[in-house]
Structure 1
């Protein structure tokens, strides 16, 4: 190695270009850095980093937020598709959520391999296209194809990459950045149900659905314009599954906790409006669809406070475990709710605490991934397992619900509370494993 090369290597590693004598922004790898294979550490701030947070917020609005809106469609379909059961209708929303999470098994390794922009463009196109196609559906099987499969596939392609990109731009503030970006989901859950419920009586469900599609189209411009990966793609071939994870007891226990949590976490989001109608808990002049809005409004708080605590404590899995415990306690309390005041309090509080479960899942996965070049693969594995749980959990609740009698509601609520309690136990064990391993290294 020549003298000149030895002199410029530290400069290249610091993130500055030596070709022109000018500096590049901190955290943006120069050509020399890429050539040396030594990317700079995450900037943990700056315009480029926070722009990714905004872009990820928009993607979460268009994906997870759209899935959270399905509660208003569940109620609308139950009233208009009288020959289709509650369980069958809930399969549409479950397919959306399942594909959103399970798609990470494919998009995670592709993200690691450097196909972020391809995933972003394809995924957002399918989501918006599926929403427009939903407005044209007249049969239930068409709804399954457009709203379930097309939108779900698009969500699955783009959701995980736009979450995993936080690990490239943030280290110390990673939980906060992930939590802030995930707020796009509850904001969509507030806005979109109101849009649908207000426009559907006036212009009909098809045009109300198209208005939502146009909103998604406008918001999608932001991530398509600004989102870029910071690090060069991994040069190593990545399998769809990290086999080493199966020998990691901490990660596998955490994975089992995620499965139990997502089996039941979204049951209140899907069925709270129907519960309010069946029990006549909503006063005159207050739309029952606002129950979904209230739950998502509460979730905004749950996307900020838990990440802040996770950054302070360094234990996102422990925060997630306490959130699951809170969801279980609230679900048991749901059994005794009969009036509007109690239902409104439950709706807001469940939204707040469930937000901690959702926002901490990717952060805890980052925490349990020691080789960050495999973060997309491990996050994909975790999302796939959670997606399968989400796929079967809500339809099971629909079968238990049956004719929506009081006894059936007790079964649905008990199912929710028990699985969240099981998730809490497993997540506490995973957090204990992690803390014990950290003490052993000190």
Structure 2
């Protein structure tokens, strides 16, 4: 026999009918009535959507539509639970991350271009210093420390690069936690003091400490922060914006090559450092006011929450992600040959063109000048092309061709014109990868914790920047002063490093000619 009782869900609490209960909340009739009052017809009560936690063994917190779970009571405010962003696997953002990134619109211009200008000035003042070290190295070898091997003097620039890159990871993490602009102004003050101390150094060990370690540390405290800022303002034009920002290093490097060369000849390197220090402080002040930080949606968490305090230094999942190792292995190996031409091109020109060895003209520094200026052009154009062909593609190609140009052109450059041609080509292709580094990180892992991951990527190239050029100089010394073995080592390391990037490239996009 079919039951007339309607079927109720198994987890809905059954209540006795209200008509069979005495409802004390209803007022009693004030006057007696002998005829029975009609019973009002009421709709059956709806099952409760928020039963107690003990009901049928259910636990609170389950979502609607999961087969008998619970949801929030009416009027309850829904809040998003803070989650930690982890390195994604497979080289692409998850659907949830992509949806949030789309919802968080990028200005693609406006105030963002002023931010790019500020980053351009910072890159020129800070990163440009590493590209003009060859001017100081040549002066130290000729006048200040003539009895010191040039491979030893190269260690000063290598120590500055190592301190800068090794500090960047810590600075990027602190910037993500305490604010970009706070860390940048701390870096400015620290670097200003370090440059002032460098101008009073008279002994080689003092130069190592001040001009090498302290200056490099100060420059590294801000590097990942201004490199990451354009990615917060641009998505479709991210490569172009980042390329323009980081091109300041090559642009200022070219100008500084001329200015520092003239100042050293006229007033000496100590007064040159004093003048240069106050020029930098002026640039830093102007650039700092142009910067503005935008916080990605996944990082807008309440201040003081345990999730933010206890989060690891690297996003979860990085150490088990093969794409992470592919990128870091590429950077680690390739940078052993990256800076060698910048450090040795002036000395190479003097060896190949003997009449320039004792010349005080700017002709001997022209190769380094054009190498830096062509790098500025390359970084801007590469950023524009990367938006069309993909940052990972351009990043990998730049490292491969940077090594190839050394192998097939530098060791055969025996005339001044060929040296200039090599400087133009190498500067153009070799400077691209560093400008695209934050763009590649954003492409592979997203913009969350971008400064932290960019800082770690910069940290990975610190061993190569520290001892890469020194190893190259030692190879040349062991070869009796011949340049060819050193060039083969430098170009070979850069080419081999580019091969490590192929896994990340084809893991994220298997089609050869696809933009990625």
Q: So what's the TM-score if we normalise by structure 1?
A: 0.85
Q: Tell me which residue corresponds to 1:289.
A: 365
Matches of 1:51 and 1:378 in 2, distance apart? 24
Offset at 1:128?
Answer: 2.6
Q: Tell me which residue corresponds to 1:17.
A: none
SS class of match (1:335)? helix
Q: Does 1:327 align with 2:407?
A: no
Q: Provide closer, same or farther for how the CA distance between residues 247 and 282 of structure 1 changes in structure 2, counting only shifts above 3 A.
A: farther
Aligned partner of 1:133 among 189, 194, 197: 197
Offset at 1:291?
Answer: 2.0
Matches of 2:167 and 2:108 in 1, distance apart? 28
Offset at 1:206?
Answer: 1.4
Matches of 2:365 and 2:312 in 1, distance apart? 43
Offset at 1:55?
Answer: 0.8
Q: Provide closer, same or farther for how the CA distance between residues 438 and 107 of structure 1 changes in structure 2, counting only shifts above 3 A.
A: farther
Would you say the 8 A contact 1:94–1:390 is kept in 2?
yes
Matches of 1:239 and 1:88 in 2, distance apart? 38
Q: Tell me which residue corresponds to 2:455.
A: 380
SS class of match (1:43)? coil
Offset at 1:140?
Answer: 0.8
Offset at 1:2?
Answer: 10
Q: Tell me which residue corresponds to 1:257.
A: 330
Gaps of 5+ in 2: 1-72, 80-101, 302-307
SS class of match (1:273)? helix
Aligned partner of 2:162 among 89, 98, 104: 98
Q: Tell me which residue corresponds to 1:391.
A: 466
Matches of 1:110 and 1:215 in 2, distance apart? 27
State the Cα RMSD in Å: 2.7
Would you say the 8 A contact 2:258–2:362 is kept in 1?
no
Q: Tell me which residue corresponds to 1:149.
A: 213
Q: Tell me which residue corresponds to 1:301.
A: 377
Compare the two structures and name the one with the higher helix fraction: 1
Matches of 2:177 and 2:300 in 1, distance apart? 5
Offset at 1:263?
Answer: 1.2
Q: Does 1:222 align with 2:286?
A: yes
Q: Tell me which residue corresponds to 1:30.
A: none
Would you say the 8 A contact 2:398–2:430 is kept in 1?
yes
Would you say the 8 A contact 2:107–2:233 is kept in 1?
yes
Q: Tell me which residue corresponds to 2:63.
A: none
Offset at 1:99?
Answer: 2.2
Q: Tell me which residue corresponds to 2:492.
A: 418
SS class of match (1:288)? helix
Matches of 2:267 and 2:138 in 1, distance apart? 18
Offset at 1:379?
Answer: 1.4
Aligned partner of 1:351 among 427, 430, 453: 427
Q: Does 1:89 align with 2:145?
A: no
Matches of 1:322 and 1:393 in 2, distance apart? 21
SS class of match (1:189)? helix
Matches of 1:379 and 1:168 in 2, distance apart? 13
Larger radius of gyration: 2
Offset at 1:377?
Answer: 2.0
Would you say the 8 A contact 1:318–1:428 is kept in 2?
no
Matches of 2:188 and 2:349 in 1, distance apart? 33
- String of CA shifts for 1:162-190, please: whole Å, max 9, x gaps: 11122221111111111000111011211
Q: Provide closer, same or farther for how the CA distance between residues 411 and 438 of structure 1 changes in structure 2, counting only shifts above 3 A.
A: closer
SS class of match (2:201)? coil
Would you say the 8 A contact 1:191–1:293 is kept in 2?
yes
Q: Tell me which residue corresponds to 1:110.
A: 174
Q: Does 1:70 align with 2:138?
A: no
Offset at 1:39?
Answer: 8.4
Q: Does 1:164 align with 2:228?
A: yes
Matches of 1:62 and 1:133 in 2, distance apart? 18
- String of CA shifts for 1:235-280, please: whole Å, max 9, x gaps: 4244223351222212211211111221111110011001111222
Would you say the 8 A contact 1:105–1:240 is kept in 2?
no
Moved more, 105-114 or 59-68: 105-114
Would you say the 8 A contact 1:334–1:346 is kept in 2?
yes
SS class of match (1:304)? helix
Offset at 1:282?
Answer: 6.7
Aligned partner of 1:61 among 117, 120, 124: 124
Q: Does 1:428 align with 2:491?
A: no
Q: Provide closer, same or farther for how the CA distance between residues 97 and 362 of structure 1 changes in structure 2, counting only shifts above 3 A.
A: same
Q: Provide closer, same or farther for how the CA distance between residues 41 and 388 of structure 1 changes in structure 2, counting only shifts above 3 A.
A: farther
Would you say the 8 A contact 1:58–1:223 is kept in 2?
yes
Would you say the 8 A contact 1:183–1:300 is kept in 2?
yes
